[in-house]
Chain A
Amino acid sequence: MAYTITEKILLSHTDKKIIKPGEFIWAKVDFTLGNDITAPIAINEFEGYGAKKVFDNKKIALIPDHFIPAKDIRSAKQAKRLKEFAAKHKIVHYYEVGRMGIEHALLPELGLVKPGELIIGADSHTCTYGALGAFSTGVGSTDLAAAWITGHCWLRVPETIKFIYKGKLSKWASGKDLILYTIGNIGVDGALYKAMEFSGSAIEKLPMDDRFSMCNMAIEAGGKSGIIEPDDITLDYVKKHKGKKSKFKIFKSDKDAKYSEVKEYNVSGLEPQVACPHLPSNVKPVSKLKNVKVDQVVIGSCTNGRILDLRIAAKILKGRKVKSGIRVIVIPATQQIYLDAIKEGLAEIFIKAGAVLSTPTCGPCLGGHAGILADGEVALATTNRNFIGRMGSPKSFVYLSNPAVAASSAIKGRIAHPEEVL
């Protein structure tokens, strides 16, 4: 029987002989994740069940990253619950402020998630690790508690949509632009319940950080997962981010695998894309939005807070100034990325340009803290969602873009194409 990469990974995590889309499976999980918002509910469920032991203390990550460093007393209490639960159950992968990073940047960086694995996380952007050729999906807190007890998760085997990106990306277009373009094309429920398999010549050349951005936003099209077949770029990344786990398995889709749909795009000459309020599917090319003034620019998040993102932003901001009256918040996604930004001189470029460099946190992306918008304010962010009130006031506006567009817009004070600056 011919299978997609997703079906192969799922099959390998059951005791079944065959598998087909639509079927429900009780799958073995390789790694689980919870944060300071979702894990407290999972802990309630775990303890309410009367469970005494977690299934494997090395396969659980607890990462306080959303409202952390704690923005208020209640957030501090939630983080404290994670810390206490981690101590009680000897959870190996608990990361305190100072070692912590945004979960979806941190886990791959530490080598905790590998190709061929099945990963669930109580966070919708868990789909990020599909970039490594893993099956990785967001679930709820109760799912997480059940996995802590049983080491398993119920899943419906998804149909797969294959996306083929042909052509060569232009200088200022990135993985973020490919995924925004795709969401704009298929809509916020265009891949509902489905796996999104990204392929084609443009993907083959895409660096890992861009692949993470793409798979990260599969959820914004309703997708269950995003996935890219491992290649030399993947293996090189995995080699550099080994961690303590060196074993993994490479899966690839069969040539005659069945897809529910195949979408083909020619992306040569694709302009950087911007998602306008209040849906990630409300996408326009940057050149159509040059009259949109911005009050705040955010460069960071699990979507675009990696070193490549910061390098591109710094390249544009180098020797230039953020327009007066504009706030620019740069958030390296992990401590390592922060350190690299300092070593490479990026930190200095940001600060000299008039931007702030924040400690790793999800912070403003979900309207938590460290960059909340007032009524009527407009933000351009490299984040993933622009729903009503997402970054603060229900009367504010969020536009989503890649880091190059964000940095250029910070200089111009309005949405700008990088070519207007460089």
Chain B
Amino acid sequence: MIIKGRAHKFGDDINTDDIIAAKYLNTTDAKELGSHCMETIALDFSNKVKEGDIIVAGRNFGCGSSREHAPIAIKGCGVSLVIADSFARIFFRNSINIGLPIFELKESAKINEGDELEVNLAKGEIKNLTQNTVYKSEAFAEFMQELIQAGGLMKWIRRKQTTR
């Protein structure tokens, strides 16, 4: 699958309170959560973001709480992929479990705000169309690939339970 979108840049240690503030955790609706995505630190983010756009951040993206509302909000506002130097562990597993594509890229700092990116999810290849360069994301462990290919945890356990 190929994803094409503009980069929206964020810094290090973007936490789940930044991604979706706790005051909105009284709903599980993806569209509504999406409309408040990143509101605490980038007030107009959900208006600015276009379907398919890409979040590019630094270290430890998604640190803090276990709220699955965070990756749901990111998906809900139309973001297609998150690229970061590293991910906090619960955010990482939540994203894989619910099928939000994420890429680890140690050179994420080279990507600028607004750069047009074309990403081959299967190959882990990120083309920066604006800068005319290519980056290769860190490869997922075999088990993670299995989860991703299944389309998330619930689909994976269904397969596991039916093949047993």
Which of A40, A139, A150, A188 has a CB less than 8 Å from the CB of B157?
A150
Task: Report whether B154 and A49 are in contact in the complex, using a CB–CB cutoff of 8 Å.
Answer: yes
**Cβ of B121 < 8 Å from any Cβ of A?**
no
Task: Report whether B40 and A124 are in contact in the complex, using a CB–CB cutoff of 8 Å.
Answer: no
Task: Report whether A150 and B161 are in contact in the complex, using a CB–CB cutoff of 8 Å.
Answer: yes
Which of B17, B144, B154 has a CB less than 8 Å from the CB of A146?
B154
Q: How far is the CB of A215 from chain B (nearest CB, A)?
A: 16
Q: How far is the CB of A414 from chain B (nearest CB, A)?
A: 26
Q: How large is the interface on B (under 10, 10 to 19, 20 to 34, 35 or more residues)?
A: 35 or more
Task: Report whether B157 and A124 are in contact in the complex, using a CB–CB cutoff of 8 Å.
Answer: no
**Cβ of B9 < 8 Å from any Cβ of A?**
no
Residue of A whose beta carbon sits closest to that of B25: A37
Mask for B54-93, Cβ within 8 A of A = 1, else 0?
0000011001111111001000000000000010111001
Residue from B26, B27, B97 having most chain A Cβ neighbours under 10 A = B26
Which of A72, A78, A124, A189 has a CB less than 8 Å from the CB of B13?
A189
A142-B98, A142-B154 given as contacts; is B93 within 8 A of A193 (CB)? no
Q: Which of B129-144 contact A (CB under 8 A)?
A: 141, 143-144
A45-B154, A188-B13 given as contacts; is B93 within 8 A of A124 (CB)? no
Which of B59, B64, B69 has a CB less than 8 Å from the CB of A385?
B64
Task: Report whether A66 and B25 are in contact in the complex, using a CB–CB cutoff of 8 Å.
Answer: yes
Q: How far is the CA of A55 from the CA of B26 in the complex (A)?
A: 27
Q: How far is the CA of A263 from the CA of B127 in the complex (A)?
A: 41
Contacts of A121 in B (CB 8 A): 66
Q: Which of A135-165 contact B (CB under 8 A)?
A: 138-143, 145-146, 149-150, 154, 156
Mask for B1-43, Cβ within 8 A of A = 1, else 0?
0000000000001010110011101111000000000001100
Q: How far is the CA of A219 from the CA of B15 in the complex (A)?
A: 12
**Cβ of A366 < 8 Å from any Cβ of B?**
yes
Contacts of A387 in B (CB 8 A): 15, 17-18, 64
**Cβ of A65 < 8 Å from any Cβ of B?**
no
**Cβ of B94 < 8 Å from any Cβ of A?**
yes
Which of A40, A77, A142, A388 has a CB less than 8 Å from the CB of B152?
A142
A38-B68, A367-B21 given as contacts; is B26 within 8 A of A145 (CB)? no
List residues of A whose CB falls within 8 A of some B CB.
Answer: 22, 24, 37-38, 40-41, 44-45, 48-49, 66-67, 71-72, 74-75, 77-78, 121-124, 126, 138-143, 145-146, 149-150, 154, 156, 188-189, 192-193, 219, 222, 224, 279, 366-368, 385, 387-390, 394
List residues of B whose CB falls within 8 A of some A CB.
Answer: 13, 15, 17-18, 21-23, 25-28, 40-41, 59-60, 63-69, 72, 86, 88-90, 93-94, 97-98, 141, 143-144, 147, 152-154, 157-158, 160-161
**Shortest 10 CB-CB distances between A and B: which pairs?**
A74-B26, A140-B94, A24-B143, A189-B60, A142-B97, A124-B66, A366-B22, A141-B68, A140-B68, A387-B17
What are 25 A-B contacts defined by CB distance under 8 Å?
A24-B141, A38-B66, A41-B69, A49-B157, A66-B25, A71-B26, A75-B26, A78-B26, A123-B66, A124-B64, A140-B68, A140-B90, A140-B98, A141-B66, A146-B153, A150-B160, A156-B141, A189-B63, A193-B89, A222-B88, A367-B22, A385-B15, A385-B65, A388-B41, A389-B21
